[in-house]
Amino acid sequence: MPVRWIPGGGFLGNSYLVGGVLVDAGVLPTAIERYREQVREIVLTHCHFDHIAYVREIARICDAPVYIHRLDAPGLSSDAISLSMHFGSSAPRHPPGRLLEEGDRVGDLLVLHTPGHTPGSICLLHEEEQALLSGDTVFCDGGFGRFDFPGGSRDDLARSLGRLSSLEIEGLYPGHGSPVEHGGSRHILAAKKLLDITYA
């Protein structure tokens, strides 16, 4: 099943559409309008404002429920946890329809709890396609999410990257920057090595 990339503009995070699942809701609602009939569920990889900024509006135009890991759910209604004040805004205060846990499934996607950037950060794995939608846990070209925000943890991130590096990943679809369709595992391993060397 193809992963459709909906690029984030400026500080906003990317969104992706996989079947009827929209991953993240920081992009402008106008970017989602054309897919409104296709979107059945919205999954947030974590609670930072650049990934949830327009979740209320997008959920309304798509008439779709919103899912987030239970540990990040408070960020949907907290300016401090969502970091919305850094963007001159406030948290969307949109209630989640479902609280996710490790091992849950949304459509064809398996929820992997990958804390470190936030306590409730998740990645979404399409096992058949060996595709990973990685939020801000890991980026292409060997980058990884910051862990110096409230709730972040270097040790948790290291464990999460270690876990992801053991997977066979082709497509890597990060929360920021351009995705890659092949060789995703190499990017994850590079991020793990960089974290180990730079923040040992």
Continuous segment of H or E residues that includes residue 51: helix 49-52
Predicted local distance difference test score (pLDDT) of residue 185? 97
Give the range of the structural domain holding residue 180, as residue numbers without chain letter.
Answer: 3-198
CATH code of 177's domain: 3.60.15.10
Model confidence at 200, pLDDT cuts 50, 70, 90, reads low
Q: Cα separation of 149 and 154, whole Å?
A: 11
Predicted local distance difference test score (pLDDT) of residue 173? 98
Q: Average pLDDT in the 10-30 region?
A: 95
**Residue 188 DSSP SS3:** helix
Distances (CA, A) of 116 to 57, 144, 152: 28, 10, 5
The token pair that represents 36 in the structure block? 């409104």
**Residue 50 DSSP SS3:** helix
Model confidence at 9, pLDDT cuts 50, 70, 90, reads confident
DSSP 128: T
Instruction: Give the percent of the chain with pLDDT over 90.
Output: 92
Inter-axis angle of helices 184-198 and 154-165, nearest 10: 150
User: Listing from the earlier edge strand, what are the strands of the sheet with 15-18?
Assistant: 3-6, 15-18, 21-23, 41-43, 66-69, 98-100
Digit-coded pLDDT (tens) for 129-177: 999 999 999 999 889 999 999 999 999 999 999 999 999 999 999 999 9
Q: Average pLDDT in the 9-19 region?
A: 92
Predicted local distance difference test score (pLDDT) of residue 1? 61
Digit-coded pLDDT (tens) for 66-112: 999 999 999 999 999 999 998 889 999 999 999 999 999 999 999 99
What is the pTM for the complete model shown? 0.96
Say which residue the tokens 């996989």 belong to: 18
What's the structural domain count of the chain? 1
